[in-house]
Structure 1
Amino acid sequence: MLEPQDHRLRQREYLLQISRAITAQLDLASLLNLVITYAVEMLAGTSGLIAIYDEEGDDLLRIRASSQLPRDIWPAFAPLLALPLADLPRQGVAVLRDVATDTGLNLRQMIALPLALRQSAVGVIYVFRAALNVDFSANDRQLLQDFANQAAIAVSNARLYQGVLREKQRLDAMIEQSADGALIIDSRWRITTFNKMMEQLTGWTRDEAIGRPCAEVLGIHSDQGVNICLTDCPLQRRPPAENPVAEGRITSRDGREIYI
């Protein structure tokens, strides 16, 4: 049994590790497994799980991580997940008893808290104990709240990332299907997206072009041979133009002169 000071130090250490993992952008399953493993240990539990609401908005909780609960018994917890948190004080014990009977596990006590971020619930964290004579305390609840907050941040970040990824995939598909040559550059003027028509216009393959400065690949020049990309790139003018435009010629790798 850890002394109170040692317990607080361990808690701080675990929360710091979780924060670092979130910053490192580990996958959501790994993050949630880390959270529930540490939460069960800190609350002297025997097992636990984290369930997340479906993004489609159907209010269904689905288990995404657990500690000491094999995946093949997760379906047995469906009646518990279907029970609103507000009903746990009245009905939770009976439902947990049924789950314990179905799984053959010693599940005698339970504490559960919502994973909430900006007043929006994204899931629930549960910790179970086998002992009957050791109730979860107010301190346990506060401790679990800290872990619940970290899990909520992890879920929110993962969903934001997936949303950005879906939008990028949609944009990439639109650009690829365009009948015009199109590319996208980053803040350092390096090419990040290069469609098939640009390959045909420039003679550069996508793999060759991506990551290179756009001035190197395009090299738009005037009729006098002045490289506009290097001397007067409209994207780099200050103050920025509302609708920057550059007109000139590019020389493809096979020697063709193309006006753009």
Structure 2
Amino acid sequence: MEYQGDLHAKDRLLTSIHKISHLLTRPVSLDTVLTAIVEETAHVFGYDRVAIYLVSKDKRLLECKYEIGFTPEEMEIAFQRPFNLERHECIETLVVKTGQTVYIRDYSTDSRVTYLDRKVSAKQNRFATIAVPLNLRESVIGIIEADRGGYPLVLTEEDIQHLSIFANQASIIIENTRLYEQLVNERNFAENVVQSSPNCILVVNCDETLRTVNPMAQSILGLKQDSVIGQKAPQVLGDPLGKIISDALAGRLTDGNEVVIKHKGGARTILEVSTSQLRSQDGAVLGAVLIAMDLTEAKKTDEWMRRVDRLSSLGQLSAGVAHEIRNPLASINFNIQLLSKRARLDEKSQRIIENSLAGVERIKGLVKGMLDFSRPAPPQLKKESIHRALEDAVALMDSQFAKHGIKVVMNLAGDVPDIVFDNRQIQQVFVNMLLNAMQAMPEGGTVTIETRVGGETKELSRYLSVYLSDTGIGIPRENFSKIFDPFFTTKPEGTGLGLSIAHKILEQHGAHIEIRSRVGQGTMFIIRFPIEGVEKHVPVQDPHRG
């Protein structure tokens, strides 16, 4: 059957070109375009077998992308064995190299047929073929190859011309689809960079409406993208971020400034903020970008390391001072006791002696605290229940709590595993915390003890957390960094060593302690124990706790 180049054929050609061109009016993949080209080639020009090949990006290979009419075995070979444009001499590579259509009417007599052509034709039962180049701006991006299986292929000049016209249009469509896919991939890459960034990224339009809020920004700032996109940034974010964005749109950019974001419940986040403008090619301002790095944990870790260094130095100093005081203090204590027994003292003198002995006992307690702080006993580690240690500590304080009108509420999680710790030392820590809570509530109040495994972040999932809070007078924020320092106290009769010793004990257990407090509302201590055992851990903070 010969293909006749009449008006009807031209009409079908134009219809076919319009059909594949219509693919450019909607987003489609390159595979969809290639499939449509091959199927239209077979349908319009009456070929039984059609294949489309594209030159690889490195221009070394000619790869089969789609074909119809071939057996599964033939298709597998075509897809797995591309032609090498440098080494393979065949009809397909000839078309790419010359950019000219090759029509082989009879493989047995055509001088252009190579050994490789004969080998492939024998396997595919191919007697004749036509291969047209996919030309694009003086380069060949691939070929369309077609035949009628084991039947003769007789084509007129007009038939070949029509197929070439179709192939030229197909080349444009393929290139445009590739460009579209490249743009989509670049856009998706840019979006993935923004979405997966560990930094907070906000993008606003020039009218201050939010355009992009990446997941980290949503997490840090407590935003939901669906509800804030299109809203005015200053109204959504408030100060200081809202003002920083407005300044950026006005050309007043920020570079590495630290800002503090206050959350509901009193939690604070420290951000390092930078801004830049988005501009068009002609320099018009399209919007602004705010990038913020969360420094909260880094600042917390720095403070923790400074505290450790400070406590280490104070520990060494305390050990020296304690040793220097202990020996003369023992002599003073002995002499006062000896004097009280041998001398005949009036009532006033006896009170002086008793007060002196009481003072000596207080100094002895202070010296013991200094030694405990400087050289705490190594923990005797055993796997035990932290709940039992808490309950025992509360039991020790029961009578004191009742005397001062203090109620204890315990919310202990049911899924808390046993952990490795020294029961005596950790009980000492808990008693110290409870004693501080009692002293902060001279008029009575409530102590709440809560345990929890894990938290909102992956880091917190490795910890068992004990939350111990009171409804007392609270601690001023300026004292937060000092309350674990030796000898720091706000109580007239305090030594300032209780929390320092507690911190030292927790440090030996690979645990750490945090504080949350508001003056006039109360204080919460959070102690985090590693579930997997005693290790060196840097502090972590649950961002969703106030």
Instruction: Report the TM-score when normalising by structure 1.
Output: 0.71
Alignment counterpart, residue 236 of structure 2, candidates 209, 215, 219: 219
Alignment counterpart, residue 119 of structure 2, candidates 88, 92, 98: 98
Residues 202-249 of structure 1 show CA distances to partners (whole Å, capped at 9, x for unaligned) of 21245x368x215269635568xxx879xx7865xxxxx6x57599x9
Counterpart of 2:22 in structure 1 is 20
Classify 1:100/1:220 alpha carbon distance in 2 versus 1 (closer, same or farther; 3 Å).
same
Counting aligned pairs with the same residue, the percent is 18
CA–CA distance in structure 2, aligned partners of residues 245 and 66 of structure 1: 56
Residues 142-166 of structure 1 show CA distances to partners (whole Å, capped at 9, x for unaligned) of 2112221233223323332333244
CA–CA distance in structure 1, aligned partners of residues 204 and 132 of structure 2: 44
Q: Determine if the alignment matches structure 1 residue 143 to structure 2 residue 162.
A: yes
In 2, are the aligned partners of 1:186 and 1:192 still within 8 Å (CA)?
Answer: yes
Task: Give the aligned length.
Answer: 243
Alignment counterpart, residue 117 of structure 1, candidates 136, 141, 160: 136
Counterpart of 1:83 in structure 2 is 93
Where do 5+ consecutive residues of structure 1 fail to align?
A: 236-240
Residues 88-138 of structure 1 show CA distances to partners (whole Å, capped at 9, x for unaligned) of 6743376444323213x3x22211121122223211111113443x53222
**Offset, 1:45:** 2.1
Structure with greater strand share of residues:
2
Query: Matched residue of 1:69: which SS?
Result: coil
| Structure 1, 172-181 or 157-166: larger mean CA deviation | 172-181
Counterpart of 2:463 in structure 1 is none
In 2, are the aligned partners of 1:35 and 1:147 still within 8 Å (CA)?
Answer: no
In 1, are the aligned partners of 2:29 and 2:181 still within 8 Å (CA)?
Answer: no
Alignment counterpart, residue 197 of structure 1, candidates 186, 211, 216: 216
Instruction: Report the TM-score when normalising by structure 2.
Output: 0.37
Higher Cα Rg, which structure: 2
Q: How does 1:178-193 map onto structure 2 within 5 Å?
A: 178=197, 180-184=199-203, 193=212
In 1, are the aligned partners of 2:201 and 2:216 still within 8 Å (CA)?
Answer: yes
Where do 5+ consecutive residues of structure 2 fail to align?
A: 84-89, 105-110, 274-546
Counterpart of 2:190 in structure 1 is 171
User: Which amino acid is the alignment partner of residue 121 of structure 2?
Assistant: A
Aligned alpha-carbon RMSD (Å): 4.1
In 2, are the aligned partners of 1:48 and 1:125 still within 8 Å (CA)?
Answer: yes
**Offset, 1:185:** 5.6
Counterpart of 1:73 in structure 2 is 74
Residues 149-200 of structure 1 show CA distances to partners (whole Å, capped at 9, x for unaligned) of 2332233233323332443344334434645421346799876643333113
**Offset, 1:63:** 1.1
Classify 1:182/1:222 alpha carbon distance in 2 versus 1 (closer, same or farther; 3 Å).
closer
Counterpart of 1:238 in structure 2 is none
Residues 48-88 of structure 1 show CA distances to partners (whole Å, capped at 9, x for unaligned) of 11011122x14211111112124531355556576322496
Classify 1:16/1:255 alpha carbon distance in 2 versus 1 (closer, same or farther; 3 Å).
farther
Query: Matched residue of 1:155: which SS?
Result: helix
Residues 23-52 of structure 1 show CA distances to partners (whole Å, capped at 9, x for unaligned) of 223222222122122223333322111011
**Offset, 1:141:** 2.1
Classify 1:12/1:182 alpha carbon distance in 2 versus 1 (closer, same or farther; 3 Å).
same
Q: How does 1:42-61 map onto structure 2 within 5 Å?
A: 42-55=44-57, 57-61=58-62
Classify 1:149/1:209 alpha carbon distance in 2 versus 1 (closer, same or farther; 3 Å).
farther
Classify 1:151/1:92 alpha carbon distance in 2 versus 1 (closer, same or farther; 3 Å).
farther
CA–CA distance in structure 2, aligned partners of residues 117 and 218 of structure 1: 52
CA–CA distance in structure 2, aligned partners of residues 195 and 52 of structure 1: 38
